[in-house]
Amino acid sequence: MTPFDINHALRPALRSVRGYQAIDTPEEVASRYGIASDAIVKLDGNENPYGPSPLAQKALAGQYPVHRYPDPVQRRLRRALATYLDLPFECIVAGAGADEIIDLVFRIFVDSGDRVVIASPSFGMYAFGAQLAGAELIDIPRKNDWSLDVGALATACKDARVVFLPSPNNPTGGLLPPAAYEPLFTSGAIVGVDEAYIEFAGNHETGAPTLASKAITDEVPLIVLRTFSKWAGLAGLRVGYGIMSPGLASTFIHCKQPYGVNIAAEIAALASLEDAAILNERACIIAGERNRLAHELRSGGWLEPTPSEANFLLCRVTSGDGAALHAALAQRGIFVRIFDHERLRDYVRISIGTPQDSDRLLEALTQARSEIEATSNEGGLS
């Protein structure tokens, strides 16, 4: 009997696929470093430090029919989102996080050999999805200041099936400028604009610079992605949504798995929309803390934050590298994000926590800098 060969049984596109670089749970990182889980400062996942809103907490503690399947066409959630966004119900599709909407784009529109365009560094789920689909990934790297190469991007999209661009971008934090997306709408590619962090951008006068209103016409092949993970503090419940034309939305509803958004996630999302005023206020607090932390880091002269409109800061370590700083902070119970990307070796990404979290980070950075520089000096003498 011939032994079963798993690798041979895989689709060819999956035989060399690299897994998505996910973060570990608080319990895992605390155990790894011998630190009590309630003593760590977790700034590696872009999570909301304030958690769900009061109404969402109350809804989750109540009675809801977990023995029943959810509505396969998501009527209550889509209607509530339509009211909140002042957009047509027919233009919204919810999913198990924005990741499910991203996955649906690949499953519905991308075939083996099709071209998928990204602009790195960017959210890793787009490249991961392209690998799973067996697509050809076309990367138009960002410039040294992390801005887009608009001309090269537009040219690449003319022969592509889909292009994914976050606004604000993860991990750099910058918004997508109008000059970048307008040429893409006539390129023939489906344009996925990921607005996972949009609630932390803009100001009270102008509001967040969203593309949602452009997505609801059949004339523009645009899908705008949103999530309850960041703004609403529901990362663990996995609920997000896409804004798109009625034709696209109908196709998504027809092709998706029927029960992507579970009952608990739905009731928490509905309650969050009722509590939007509190969540928007918290988003402003987080944005303010982001600006304060960026100022403090620049003043310290060791970390150089990139301008950000999200709930995180990408920071260049001016002496040393990201991995060394990550390790030194982890020993002190502070966890930030590093990336396996050639252009990000000297960087860390710091999620915005509470003011107390920032103060602990700043204190730990002072200690870590002394430790790293002392080690570097010792190495130079030997």
Give 52-61 pLDDT, tens digit per residue: 999 999 999 9
Helices assigned H by DSSP within 40-149: 54-61, 75-85, 98-109, 124-133
Please indicate, yes or no, if residue 12 is contained in any of the structural domains.
Answer: no
Same domain, 301 and 198: no
* Amino acid at residue number 107: R
What CATH code is carried by the domain that includes residue 302? 3.90.1150.10
Residue 382 has pLDDT above 70, yes or no: no
Same domain, 142 and 83: yes
Same domain, 217 and 323: no
Contact 95, 101 (CB under 8 A): yes
Boundary-marking domain end, from 226, 247, 274: 274
136-171 pLDDT per residue, tens: 999 999 999 999 999 999 999 999 999 999 999 999
Boundary-marking domain end, from 256, 274, 292: 274
Please indicate, yes or no, if residue 80 is contained in any of the structural domains.
Answer: yes
Residue 376 confidence (pLDDT): 67
pTM of the model: 0.93
- Which of the four pLDDT bands, split at 50, 70 and 90, describes residue 381? very low
174-200 pLDDT per residue, tens: 999 888 888 999 999 999 999 999 999
What is each CA distance from 7 to 11, 12, 107, in whole angstroms? 8, 9, 22
Residue 368: in which H helix or E strand, if any? helix 355-381
Chain-centre distance for alpha carbon 346: 21
Please indicate, yes or no, if residue 68 is contained in any of the structural domains.
Answer: yes
Give CA–CA dist 119/103, Å, rounded: 18
Give CA–CA dist 82/3, Å, rounded: 54
The residue with greater pLDDT, 180 or 354, is 354
Boundary-marking domain end, from 274, 307, 338: 274
Residue 109 confidence (pLDDT): 97
Please indicate, yes or no, if residue 2 is contained in any of the structural domains.
Answer: no
* Domain residue limits at 242: 54-274
Which positions ≥6 away from 63 have C-beta within 8 Å? none
Same domain, 256 and 295: no
User: Total structural domains in the chain?
Assistant: 2
Please indicate, yes or no, if residue 379 is contained in any of the structural domains.
Answer: no
- Which of the four pLDDT bands, split at 50, 70 and 90, describes residue 205? low
Structure tokens at 67: 């023995």
Residue 235: in which H helix or E strand, if any? none
Contact 268, 234 (CB under 8 A): yes
